[in-house]
């Protein structure tokens, strides 16, 4: 609950509104447990919950489009020799139009499918009238509970909605402050006209299968009334004169994340079991279980940048009045930061698919871009905040997803080029799609798998689990690297190995050796080499990779107007403001460019960013927060946050591309974390932590606790006037040699490092750098005087 009574102000980590939602996209409030999602509208006379189950997809195995069965997007129709023809053309002419490439290599993507809405629950409240007093609708980020409060004729009515991860159900609780005052009718509807509805003993069951692919689905909604009576209707359940009612909802399909059939057990038993188990406990126990589980993760990070403890303005007004200055701006920014963490926990939990373009929320049978997995920035951006903001468990669905893409990805590699290894293209779905879709301008991006592998390696860098590296990450990375060993070709001009053809995402001509393609492959090779060293595995393979890496064009060139080149040729247009700034991958998420280690390249990245400007879609602005943070320009990073909040954010604080696309939420949360802490894994149990690398002037003082750096280090920082005043850190899982970079160490300040026991710690200091050994489980404090 946000507060005890409806009249008091909610605490700062609450989204709240004085009116019900009428628009799904911009106003309704999302809840989710990773697999299930709901959007709550909060109407007084009718409550509406729009529902999703993450695996409910059309297309895929079993589906046929225009007479063609789904075929994982494979390249079997590619004409023999077409790839060589393309390469010869690029070697001779330097570039080609994307449409030309699409014609040479492309093919139709039959039955790709789209993410589907599951249905809707409507709760018609009897005698609600129209005039409720003290109405408030809220979402408490500290408990992940959405709530509606209002009074009618002196009676207080309240509702809560939550999506429990431990119990696997969505639960709604409706209460009246007086016995006998709650009467309502609950309907559960499916958009699918073939769905069968059945009501028995307060339980509404919806069952059916999708017409195009036969995917079975089932939803059950159980209504439990306290006092009062319960009456089954034909397709509804009515509660009369109760004091309280609980609704328990579970949805399932027979989807399984397994190539080639992608089918598992019928959903009936699992759905029934979950509902029955949830019904066997009092609502209070279900609620406590949910809050304990959720808050245990969400509560790991606290951010205080000067927001008042309570917000005096409803969230839509807070957003409308936002100009980047004053306590209200700090309130919105910190709320937005934590909202990204909330949304990640709501849309990505172990045991389900990763967060898609809309997380887990979709109300349309034809959502934008199928609400799929775009892998030229979007899926990756969804996971940027996971490690740094201490929600590493949420990466599990991504890891499983990457793993499951491999079988079709292997066939795609083979059919494209007779290559080993595995690939995935620009877009994929829940059915292991590994080919290309038929849009010439977003057509070609076989580097997607290599980029996904960065997340596996980073999971190791942050968490340090060698077992994960050995059993999960390394085999996937090594197999992705194998493809590139086969696919790279020597450039006709300088003999360096290049990706050909290559295409800087959604921009420019097709060429050989586009910067991003080169940078991504270089990273994959470097990480795979590092992983094989940690594991002591396969030295011959490691040497092959090292040899190729030495010959690989690194994709880092400074061009005529001081910019970082997007292509191998110096052809960047200084007036171009395209939203993708892919060639800055080496700055972020990559780590090859930094102001400290490669100042010229950092300058070039800055020139590129200045030319591209501060506009763009939601995710583009979010990426720019991260870029400027990595360039240690906190004020520019903050300016991008401001742009995002002012022009790319809806009233429910969802990011809008437009339309709604969740990546910008996640990218911005990650960017704000990058402003406060950056880290580098230096190998062999060594890590560098940069404290407050990009603090904006407007965050004058504050604290952040629980951020996570590479090397599994947990960091708390307090600051004032741009300088850290207190730094605490600990390394719960392992001994690690730390290099701490902070302005606190400059200006001749006297610095002590203390264990929690009070003992002083040996350290070495030089300029803004302190080096020391951190021991497992010990908590350290940096104390500066003078
Ligand atoms: C990428 C972007 C688009 C959009 C789409 C879902 O292709 O270029 O802007 O975000 O993904």
Domains of the chain (ranges, CATH numbers): 15-58+120-299 (2.70.98.50), 75-108+359-552 (1.50.10.10), 681-785 (2.60.40.1180)
For 652, residues 6+ apart whose C-beta sits below 8 A from its C-beta are 15, 21, 26, 27, 28, 29, 30, 315
Among 369, 451, 612, name the best residue to mutate to test ligand 1's pocket (greatest count of ligand atoms within 8 A of Cβ): 369
* CA 382/CA 366 separation, integer angstroms: 21
- Single out the residue of 7, 42, 17 nearest to residue 160, CA to CA: 42
10 Å Cβ neighbour count for 263? Answer: 18
* Res 767: pLDDT: 86
Among 614, 616, 620, 592, CA closest to 604: 592
Which residue has its alpha carbon closest to ligand 1 atom 8?
Answer: 506
Is 367 in contact with 115 (CB distance < 8 Å)?
Answer: yes
Per-residue pLDDT, 749 = 74
What is the CA(176)–ligand 1 centre distance, in A? 46
Specify the long-range contacts of residues 152-157, CB closer than 8 Å, at least 24 apart. Answer: 152/44, 152/128, 155/181, 156/6, 157/125, 157/132, 157/181, 157/182
φ, ψ of residue 685 in degrees (nearest 5) = 55, 35
Residue 505 CA, closest ligand 1 atom number: 8
Residue to probe by mutation, ligand 1, list 115, 370, 506, 659, most atoms within 8 Å of CB = 506
Question: For residue 363, what is the enclosing H or E element?
Answer: none
**Rounded to 5 degrees, what angle do the CA atoms 334, 340, 342 make?**
100
CB 96 within 8 A of CB 89: yes
Which of 452, 448, 451, 450 is closest to 437 using CA atoms?
448
Residue 524 corresponds to which tokens in the numbers above? 């994959």
Residues in the chain: 786
For residue 378, the ligand 1 atom closest to its alpha carbon is 11
The CA 162 to ligand 1 mean position distance, Å, reads 31
Q: How far is it, in rounded angstroms, from Cα 625 to Cα 643?
A: 10
- For the four alpha carbons of 409, 415, 416 and 420, in that order, the dihedral sign comes to positive
Phi-psi region at 785: left, alpha or beta (left = phi > 0; alpha = psi -120 to 50): beta
- Rg for the chain (alpha carbons), in Å? 27
Bridge-based pairing state of the strands 203-209 and 196-200: antiparallel
Report the largest interatomic distance among the alpha carbons of the chain, rounded to a whole angstrom. 84
CA of 372 to the centre of ligand 1 (A): 11
Q: Give start and end residues of each alpha helix (H) in 677-780.
A: none
Q: What letter would DSSP give residue 80?
A: T
pLDDT of residue 73: 82
Separation CA 212–CA 191 (nearest Å): 14
For ligand 1, the distance from its centroid to the CA atom of residue 722, given in whole angstroms, is 36
Residues with CB under 6 A from ligand 1: 357, 369, 374, 376, 378, 442, 506, 580, 617, 619, 657, 661
The string of DSSP letters for 519-548 reads HHHHHHHHHHHHHHHHHT--HHHHHHHHHH
Tokens 């700062």 belong to residue: 12
* Cα 43 to middle of ligand 1, angstroms: 34
Atom from ligand 1 closest to the CA of residue 617 = 9
Phi, psi torsion values for 335, nearest 5 degrees: -65, -45
Q: How far apart are CA 648 and CA 721, in angstroms?
A: 30
- End-to-end CA gap in the chain: 45
CA angle in degrees (0–180, nearest 5) for 58-64-68: 140
CA dist 630 and 649 (Å) reads 23
Q: Which tokens sit at 632?
A: 């240690």
Quote the ligand 1 centre to 41 CA distance (angstroms). 28
pLDDT of the residue at 756: 86
Is the CB of residue 213 less than 8 Å from the CB of residue 62?
A: yes
List all residues 6 or more positions away from 594 whose beta carbon is below 8 Å from its beta carbon: 587, 602, 630
Q: Which two tokens stand for residue 412?
A: 């795609």
Nearest atom in ligand 1 to the alpha carbon of residue 663 is 10
Using the 8-state DSSP alphabet, how is residue 760 labeled?
A: B
CA dihedral 302, 304, 305, 307 (to 10 degrees): 120
Gap from CA of 437 to ligand 1 centroid (Å): 13
From the list 44, 57, 29, 46, the residue with the least C-alpha distance to 430 is 57
> Can you tell me which atom of ligand 1 is nearest the CA of 657?
10
| Residue 558, beta-bridge partner list | 564
Q: How far is CA 309 from CA 16, 622, 628, in A?
A: 15, 26, 29
SS3 (DSSP) at 607: helix
The ligand 1 atom nearest the CA atom of 368: 6
Per-10-residue mean pLDDT, the chain, length 786: 57 97 98 98 97 98 94 76 94 94 82 97 87 95 98 96 98 97 97 94 98 98 96 97 98 98 98 98 98 98 95 96 96 98 98 98 98 98 98 98 97 91 96 86 90 98 96 98 98 97 94 98 98 96 98 98 98 95 98 97 98 97 98 98 98 98 98 98 94 97 97 96 92 90 81 88 90 93 79
Minimal CA–CA distance to 15: which of 458, 342, 353? 342
Distances (CA, A) of 20 to 40, 149, 342, 395: 9, 11, 21, 34
Please report the pLDDT score of residue 701 as a whole number.
95
pLDDT for position 1: 37
Cα(421) to centroid of ligand 1, in Å?
Answer: 26
Q: How many helical (H) and strand (E) elements, i.e. helices and strands, does the chain have?
A: 18, 31
> pLDDT value at position 76?
66
Q: Reduced to 3 states, what is the DSSP secondary structure of residue 97? A: coil
Task: Identify whether the C-beta of residue 348 lies closer than 8 Å to the C-beta of residue 34.
Answer: yes
Can you read off the two tokens belonging to residue 259?
A: 């190539």
Using the Cα atoms of residue 590, residue 592, residue 598 and residue 602 in order, give the sign of their dihedral.
negative
Q: Ligand 1 centroid to 415 CA: how many Å?
A: 27
Q: How far apart are CA 556 and CA 266, in angstroms?
A: 52
Alpha-carbon gap, residue 406 to 383, rounded angstroms: 20
CA distances from residue 110 to 113, 171, 648 in whole angstroms, order as listed: 8, 38, 33
What SS3 state is found at 120?
Answer: strand
Beta bridge partners of 714: 708, 730
Q: At what angle do helices 663-676 and 618-630 cross, to 10 degrees?
A: 10
Cβ-Cβ contacts under 8 Å for 253 (sequence gap 6 or more): 53, 55, 56, 215, 216, 217, 218, 267
Q: Per-residue b/e over 379-416, b at no fewer than 16 CB within 10 Å?
A: bbbbbbbbbbbbbbebbbbbbbbbebbbbbbbbbbbbb
For ligand 1, what atom is nearest to the CA of residue 357? 6
Ligand 1 midpoint to CA 503 (Å): 15
Task: Look at the alpha carbons of 463, 469, 471, 475 in this order and tell me if their dihedral is positive or negative.
Answer: positive
Q: Are 545 and 529 in contact (CB under 8 A)?
A: yes
Count other C-beta atoms under 10 Å from residue 229's C-beta: 11
If you take atom 11 of ligand 1, which residue's CA is the nearest one? Answer: 374
- How far does the centroid of ligand 1 lie from the alpha carbon of residue 603, in Å? 27
- Pocket probe mutation, ligand 1, options 379, 508, 581, 657, max atoms within 8 Å of Cβ: 657
Whether the CB-CB separation of 655 and 668 falls below 8 Å is answered with yes
Are the beta carbons of 31 and 138 closer than 8 angstroms? no
Please state, in angstroms and rounded to a whole number, the distance separating the CA atoms of residues 343 and 355: 9
* Ligand 1 atom at shortest distance from the alpha carbon of 426: 7
């Amino acid at each position: 609950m946000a507060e005890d009574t409806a009249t008091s102000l909610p605490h700062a980590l609450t989204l709240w509104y004085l009116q019900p939602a009428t628009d799904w996209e911009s106003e309704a409030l999302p809840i989710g447990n990773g697999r299930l999602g709901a959007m709550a509208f909060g109407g007084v006379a009718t409550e509406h919950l729009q529902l999703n189950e993450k695996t409910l997809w059309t297309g895929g195995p079993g589906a046929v489009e225009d007479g063609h069965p789904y075929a994982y997007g494979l390249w079997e129709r590619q004409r023999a020799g077409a790839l060589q023809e393309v390469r010869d053309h690029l070697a001779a002419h330097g570039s080609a139009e994307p449409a030309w490439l699409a014609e040479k290599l492309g093919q139709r993507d039959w039955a790709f499918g789209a993410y589907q809405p599951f249905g809707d629950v409507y709760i018609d409240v009897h005698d609600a009238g129209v005039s409720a007093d003290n109405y408030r609708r809220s979402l408490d980020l500290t408990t992940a509970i959405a709530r509606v409060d209002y009074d009618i004729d002196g009676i207080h009515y309240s509702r809560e909605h939550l999506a429990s991860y431990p119990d696997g159900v969505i639960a709604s609780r409706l209460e009246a402050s007086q016995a006998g005052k709650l009467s309502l009718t609950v309907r559960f509807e499916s958009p699918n006209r073939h769905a069968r509805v059945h009501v028995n003993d307060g339980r509404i069951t919806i069952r059916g299968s999708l017409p195009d692919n036969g995917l079975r689905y089932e939803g059950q909604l159980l209504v439990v009334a306290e006092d009062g009576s319960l009456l089954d209707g034909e397709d509804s359940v009515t509660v009369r004169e109760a004091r309280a009612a609980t609704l328990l909802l579970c949805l399932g399909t027979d989807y399984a994340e397994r190539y080639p059939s992608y089918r598992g057990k019928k959903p009936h038993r699992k759905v029934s079991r979950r509902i029955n188990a949830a019904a066997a406990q009092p609502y209070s126990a279900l609620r406590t279980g949910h809050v304990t589980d959720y808050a245990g993760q969400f509560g790991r990070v606290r951010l205080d940048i000067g927001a008042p403890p309570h917000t005096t303005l409803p969230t839509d007004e807070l957003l409308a009045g936002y100009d980047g200055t004053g306590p209200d701006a700090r309130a919105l920014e910190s709320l937005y930061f934590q909202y990204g963490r909330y949304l990640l926990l709501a849309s990505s939990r172990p045991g389900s698919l990763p967060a898609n373009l809309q997380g887990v929320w979709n109300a349309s049978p034809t959502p934008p871009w199928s609400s799929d997995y775009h892998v030229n920035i979007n899926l990756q951006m969804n996971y940027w905040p996971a490690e740094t903001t201490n929600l590493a468990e949420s990466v599990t669905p991504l890891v499983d997803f990457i793993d499951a893409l491999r079988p079709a990805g292997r066939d795609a590699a083979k059919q494209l080029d007779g290559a080993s290894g595995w690939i995935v293209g620009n877009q994929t779905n829940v059915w292991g799609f590994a080919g290309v879709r038929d849009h010439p301008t977003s057509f070609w991006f076989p580097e997607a798998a290599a980029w996904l592998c960065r997340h596996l390696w980073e999971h190791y860098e942050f968490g340090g689990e060698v077992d994960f590296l050995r059993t999960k990450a390394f085999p996937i990375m090594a197999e992705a690297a194998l493809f590139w060993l086969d696919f790279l070709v020597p450039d006709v001009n300088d003999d360096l190995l290049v990706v050909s053809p290559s295409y800087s995402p959604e921009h420019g001509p097709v060429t050989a050796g586009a910067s991003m393609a080169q940078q991504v492959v270089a990273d994959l090779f470097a990480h795979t080499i590092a992983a094989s060293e940690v594991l002591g595995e396969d030295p011959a393979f490691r040497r092959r990779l090292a040899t190729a890496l030495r010959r690989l064009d690194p994709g880092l060139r400074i061009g005529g107007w001081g910019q970082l080149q997007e292509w191998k040729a110096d052809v960047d247009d200084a007036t171009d403001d395209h939203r993708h700034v892919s060639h800055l991958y080496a700055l972020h998420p990559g780590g090859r460019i930094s102001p400290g280690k490669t100042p010229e390249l950092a300058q070039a990245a800055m020139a590129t960013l200045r030319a591209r400007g501060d506009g763009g879609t939601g995710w583009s602005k979010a990426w720019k927060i991260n870029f400027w943070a990595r360039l240690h320009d906190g004020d520019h990073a903050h300016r991008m946050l401001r742009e995002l909040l002012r022009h790319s954010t809806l009233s429910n604080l969802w990011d809008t591309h437009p339309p709604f696309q969740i990546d910008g939420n996640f990218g911005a949360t990650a960017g704000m974390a990058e402003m406060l802490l950056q880290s580098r894994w230096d190998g062999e149990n060594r890590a560098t932590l940069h404290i407050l690398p990009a603090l904006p002037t407007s965050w004058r003082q504050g604290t952040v606790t629980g951020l996570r750096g590479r090397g599994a280090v947990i960091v708390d920082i307090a600051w004032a006037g741009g300088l850290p005043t207190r730094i605490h850190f600990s390394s719960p899982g392992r001994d690690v040699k730390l290099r701490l970079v902070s302005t606190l160490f400059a200006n001749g300040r006297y610095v002590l490092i203390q264990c929690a026991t009070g003992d002083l710690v040996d350290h070495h200091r030089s300029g803004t750098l302190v080096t020391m050994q951190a021991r497992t489980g010990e908590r350290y404090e940096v104390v500066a005087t003078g």
